[in-house]
Structure 1
Amino acid sequence: MATKPNELSPEQQESLLNVLKTRFEKNMSRHSGVEWAPVQARLEANPGKLWSLDEMELTGGEPDVIGQDATTGEYIFCDCSAESPKGRRSICFDRAAWESRKEHKPDNTAMDMAEEMGIEILTEEQYRELQTLGTFDLKTSSWVQTPAAIRKLGGALFCDRRYDTVFLYHNGAESYYAARGFRGLLKV
């Protein structure tokens, strides 16, 4: 049976669900009070979201449940890899920044990749909340959503963790570094 674009085969679904369940069970402190069975049921009912989670996994994000939306009941998945996902580094912030580069353009942008994957880039607040669940980005950094006023002036924001403190920085949106990527969030 052929799969549709942005949909996993039954074998891929089973494999991904096993990976997610194992990670979920190993990291219960990230999702206290959440049980796996309803998470899995919601995932199985949303094949497009499973595809997005697979994209997060394939690019090194190690997605895991970090909570549940109190209003909608959706489970919140986030990249929980120790460092910014390896398959999403060396990218500038967005398409406008990419187009502004005259030479040495990166292969992609954070905003384009997130859209292609069906996920959202973390806000500063979400990034700081993630850091309460573990220790992330000790050697790397991650682009975060940037207010329009800052972006209009050519800047973009990123965060990391150094000296047991989460820092927010700015850089030109067209910049890119081997150690800077982005973390994504997906509600299911």
Structure 2
Amino acid sequence: MTNRKKELSREEQEEILRTLKDRFEKNMNRHQDMEWARVQGKLESSPEKLWSINEMERTGGEPDVVGYDKKKDEYIFYDCAAESPKGRRSVCYDQEARESRKKHQPETSAMEMATALGIELLTEEQYRELQKLGNFDLKTSSWVQTPANIRELGGAIFCDRRYNTVFVYHNGAESYYAARGFRGSLKV
């Protein structure tokens, strides 16, 4: 993954804000009782987080507001693309797993890419919350944050939705597939 400057030009800022506003207005079920003007104000006052949101969009995540933390005064964004973001697939779980592969190492891993984008992988709980807002990952799957005790034994977990049910599975952390990526979250 190439290192990109972590700031957007004025034109890029305007473009991502237009995209986010359109998505916000088309998906009000994800953020009832929230006002776009307040969300936009938070994004405009956090240029580095707006850059991360733009990276979520650039890699196919279709980020949208899914919650608001009143105590911290933060809006919560998740990747809301119907399938695991296309620009974040074919990655193993983390750097240790990637480096352990003797052959066919992927360029990066889910954890490394999330760090580079300035976001976090969804937890299993967040993934289940997302699934209450729609039907996601009907054809793909997404790595989620893996508990340390599972990771220490070489495994990692991922989720998807099949048969109108959210499933949690395990795999070796070094595995990667064309239909598995990861979804991220960001608080602004």
Q: Work out whether the TM-score is over 0.5.
A: yes
**Partners of 1:34 and 1:41 in 2: how far apart?**
13
Secondary structure (helix, strand or coil) at the match of 1:76 reads strand
Query: How many corresponding residue pairs?
Result: 185
Aligned pairs for 1:7-86 (under 5 A) are 7-86=7-86
**Partners of 2:114 and 2:148 in 1: how far apart?**
18
Mark the runs of 5 or more structure 1 residues left unpaired by the alignment: none
Q: Deviations over 1:111-157 (max 9, x none)?
A: 00000000000000000000000110000000000011100000000
Q: Deviations over 1:7-54 (max 9, x none)?
A: 000110000000000000000000010110000000000000010001
**Partners of 2:48 and 2:133 in 1: how far apart?**
27
Q: CA deviation at 1:73?
A: 1.4
Aligned pairs for 1:1-188 (under 5 A) are 5-188=5-188
Mark the runs of 5 or more structure 2 residues left unpaired by the alignment: none
**Partners of 1:21 and 1:94 in 2: how far apart?**
33
| Percent identity between the two aligned chains | 71
- Which 4+ runs in 1 deviate beyond 4 A? none
- The letter of the residue matching 2:172 is G
Q: RMSD between aligned alpha carbons? A: 0.8
**Partners of 1:143 and 1:71 in 2: how far apart?**
29
Q: CA deviation at 1:70?
A: 2.6
**Partners of 1:140 and 1:71 in 2: how far apart?**
34
**Partners of 2:45 and 2:102 in 1: how far apart?**
45
